[in-house]
Structure formats: structure tokens, C-alpha cells
Amino acid sequence: MDARQRNDLAGVGWMVLTGLLFVAFNASVKIFGQGLPAAQSAFIRFAVGAIFVAPLLPRILRDGLPHGSLPLFGLRAVLHIVGVVLWFYAMTRIPIAEVTAINFLNPVAATLGAVLFLREPLSPPRAVAILVALGGALLILRPGMRGLDLGHLAQVTSSVLVGLSYLVARNLAQKIPAEVVVAVMTLTVTAGLLPFALAVWQPMGWGQLAGLALVALIATLGHYAMTRAFAVAPMAVTQPVTFLQLIWASLMGVAVFHEPLDPMVLLGGAIIIAAISFITWRETRVAQRMVQ
């Protein structure tokens, strides 16, 4: 990042806004997705999102995609389709704070995927940070100490799949403009979700449909705010701010959905964020030394 373009305060501000939007997104899914199959809710969210990226379709058809990228786009679509359906399912089954906390495992899954599939080196500090993050996840779930819902398993699996999807996206973004990567992902996931949604489709009122359309808009704004944060400040600065998202999600769960406040979920989420922030900070330092 060009030092003249860097603005840490603006980056933190954009990331705070990102967290608020994503918490609003989660709450909207919990409200408007109740009573609907997860595949149907997920399809409506991406179908509305496809409207926003549709203007890019003529450009994609005209310019085409780089040779060899179609299998990667296909792989990302499959990972994202399954991951998103599981996420929508989990959101209607377990507290919003637990979904948010477990979702922090996305970058951990991406890091492990880079080590296993891209043969990236696994240094001892990086390995310890990953183990610490996994320990935070165990603190959230506490298997054997409390009853676990299918929603917990769904959310853990979703975090792994979406994390791997982001890893594929990172590979694609190195040779394809980011807006094209987002557009192709949105369009392919929408098409892939369609048959699953039709198989379980249930009638909806206009209010519920409008609510799910609002979900898509909030998600789009959240991703835009996150992109702006990354554009003006390094992830080592913005990553720790994401913990506020868990605080807001917990308060939302208590105030709106009457869910119990679980200190262990907050502690586990804090541990995961701390581990991710360490990985991000260390990788930034290593990259700086390589440039010097």
C-alpha cells in the first residue's frame, strides 16, 4: 500500500461501519429467514445481489475470462454454495453471537488451506497462532460440556468452506479485476442455488421477500465498506476492530432475540481474533522485510 494513500483512522472507521452492517445483515437473516428453507433464503439473497453486478455481465462476455480460470470459478461456486446454505441454516438455529464468533474461523481455514493446498510455509509462530485460534473455537463450542445443535456443526463447516472459497478468490484476484471476481461469484452462486431453492420453495409474503432483498442490500454495503477499509489501511490495523462485531452481535442477541449472553463465546471470539491479528501482523512484517 502506498504510504501516501494510507489512512489508518479512516480504515478503522470503515471497518467499524463494516461490523455494524454485518451485524444488521445477520439480524435481518434471523428475522426474515425464519420459516424458510436455507437454500431458498440464500438464493433470494444472491439473486438480489446479482442485480447489482448484472451491469458487468456484458463486459465479462465481451472480454472473456483468462485461460484456466473457469475450474477455479467453478470450485469457488461449489464451496460458496454449500457454505452459504449452511450459514443460513445455522443462523436460524443458534444464537447470533455464536454464529458471529465461529465465523471468525474463515481466515484460519484460509490460512490452513494455503498451507495444505498451496504449499505455503508453516512457520512455528504461525502454527501456534492457528492452534490458539482453534482453542478459541473449542471454548465457544465446549463439546461434551453442553448440548450442541446441528446449527453449530453447520456453522463450523460453513466457516471452513467459505474460508477456502476466499483462498480461491485470492488466487483469482491476482490475475482478474476484483469486481469481475465478485460478479462471477455472485452470478454462478445464484445459478447454482436455483435448483436447490426450487426443490424446497415455500410461498412468501411481500414483506418477507422485501426483507430478504434488504438483506442482500445490507450485505453488499458491508462488503463495500470492508473493501474501502482494506484500501486505506493494512489488515494489521483493521483486523482487531472486527472483534467489535461480536460485541454488537451479542448485544443484539440479548436485546432483540432474547438470547442469553455467554461470556465464553466472547472470550473464545476474542482469542480467535487475537490469533488472526497476530498472523496478519506477522505476515505484514515479513512482506515489508522482503521489500526492503
Mean pLDDT for each consecutive 10-residue tract of the chain (292 residues)? 71 92 91 90 90 89 88 94 95 93 91 86 88 94 87 96 89 82 90 96 90 87 83 80 92 93 94 91 73 54
How large is the C-alpha radius of gyration of the chain?
19
| HEC secondary structure over 85-113 | HHHHHHHCCCCHHHHHHHHCCHHHHHHHH
Answer for the pair 253, 95: CB distance below 8 angstroms, yes or no: yes
Work out the angle between the directed axes of helices 243-255 and 96-103 (0-180°, nearest 10).
Answer: 170
Check residue 118 and give its pLDDT.
81
User: Which three cell numbers mark 70?
Assistant: 473457469
Q: Is 150 helix (H, G, I), strand (E, B) or coil?
A: helix
Closest CA to 99 of 211, 43, 22: 22
Predicted pLDDT at 259: 94
C-alpha cell at 170: 485470492
φ/ψ of residue 283, rounded to 5: -65, -30
Residues in the chain: 292
Runs of H (alpha helix) within the chain? 8-32, 38-53, 57-63, 70-91, 96-103, 106-117, 124-141, 150-173, 178-199, 206-232, 235-238, 243-255, 263-291
What pLDDT does 2 receive? 54
Dihedral pair phi/psi, residue 143, rounded to 5°: -60, 135
CA distance 116 to 52: 35
Pairwise CA distance, residues 227 & 239, whole Å: 13
Q: Given this model, what pLDDT does residue 75 score?
A: 95
pLDDT at 196: 95
- The pLDDT score that the predictor gives to residue 287 is 65
CA 168 – CA 158 distance, rounded (Å): 15
pLDDT of residue 178: 77
pLDDT score for 174: 78
Q: In the prediction, which pLDDT does 77 show? A: 94
Locate 58 and state its grid cell: 456484458
- 3-class DSSP assignment, residue 176: coil
